[in-house]
Amino acid sequence: MEDDSYPPPLKVGIAYNLKKGVRADAEDAEAEYDSFGTIRAIRAALEGAGCSVALLEADAGFVERLKSAGVDIVFNIAEGANGRGREAQVPAILSFLGIPFTGSDETTLALALDKAMTKRYLSAYGVRTPAYRLADSPAAKLRLRFPVIVKPDCEGSGKGIGDLATAEDGDHLRAALERNLRLYGAPMLVEEFVPGREFTVGLLGNGKELAVFEPMEIRYRHGDPERGVYSYRVKTNWKEYVEYRCPADLPPQTSQALKRTAALIFRALGCRDFARIDFRLSRGGVPYFIEINPLPGLAPGYSDYPMLAGFCGVGYDALILSILRCALRRYGLVPAGRRQAVLR
């Protein structure tokens, strides 16, 4: 029987940004940061496999803390502090210092956080996405068909997607743009809304060993399920608003098309180790890429990525260790004979 533990003295640092309960005009200001419960869960999974763990909060003292910790590898879930390249901040520091880390590098994370830039890039690969425009003014002339959805171009976790996110006409659109531009102070992505079903696809691994989980459907409990929006309020109260189905009830060819497109996107963007990709399936059965998160949340019992992995038979601790193992293998830090015993 293969031993998947990591013998001491492997020391793993966890890089993270912590929710502080800071008061802000936007209720979702800290939506992408983690609670200490998530940090504890990741630490427990690593320590259970024989690793020693150092906690590395990604604040102003991060570099000094990192240098003194003497870690072999960093398990990175840090979202960064400011700007549209914030997710690239910690990976850039780690790359500069030559310290191995889990997940995608700074270039991929900077690109993927910018939704419009990602869509432009992926168009070269023939990836279908709803028509979209960037808006930096409530009066922007966008020439899109209604309804449209409005969201910050460089945010995740449902930030900026509220009850006004879907606009049915010009007046609604201007109101949504005025609100979000005021709250987030950054350009808004406006894209044509695709009525239909919503799916997310998780990926784990690298190269020929890349595994694609079965698509998970997000089904809305209230209103027209084909007009549902996965907003911040829905995500934070998901037991009330949605149910998850994995594997989704899809024709085999549609499921395979989603998985193939997800793998294409993962590789095209240079993702590493793990990611999650969101799609809308139109009423006519046409899949549209919405966005990618190469740094998906890992909150147990809450985040989509560990949830869909669990539906596919991969428990939380096994998922954390698999992400670590993927990174260790990329850096040549585990024997080549160790197999990726994850998707059974």
pLDDT in tens, 189-223: 999 999 999 999 999 999 999 999 999 999 988 87
Identity of residue 7: P
pLDDT reading at 157 higher than 70? no
CATH code that applies to domain 11-102? 3.40.50.20
Specify the fold of 131-192: Dna Ligase; domain 1 (3.30.1490)
pLDDT at 88: 96
Whether the CB-CB separation of 257 and 284 falls below 8 Å is answered with no
pLDDT reading at 32 higher than 90? no
**Tokens 């240079």 belong to which residue?**
270
pLDDT in tens, 294-342: 999 999 999 999 999 999 999 999 999 999 999 999 999 975 444 443 3
How far is 317 from 204, CA to CA, in rounded Å?
Answer: 14
Which residues does 146 contact at the CB level (< 8 Å), separation at least 6?
A: 167, 168, 169, 173
CATH of 196-330, one of 3.90.190.20, 3.40.640.10, 3.40.50.620, 3.30.470.20: 3.30.470.20
Q: What angle do CA 243, 246, 247 make, to 5 degrees?
A: 145
Whether the CB-CB separation of 309 and 200 falls below 8 Å is answered with no
pLDDT at 160: 64
Q: Where are the domains of the chain?
A: 11-102, 131-192, 196-330
Task: Please tell me what DSSP assigns to residue 34.
Answer: B
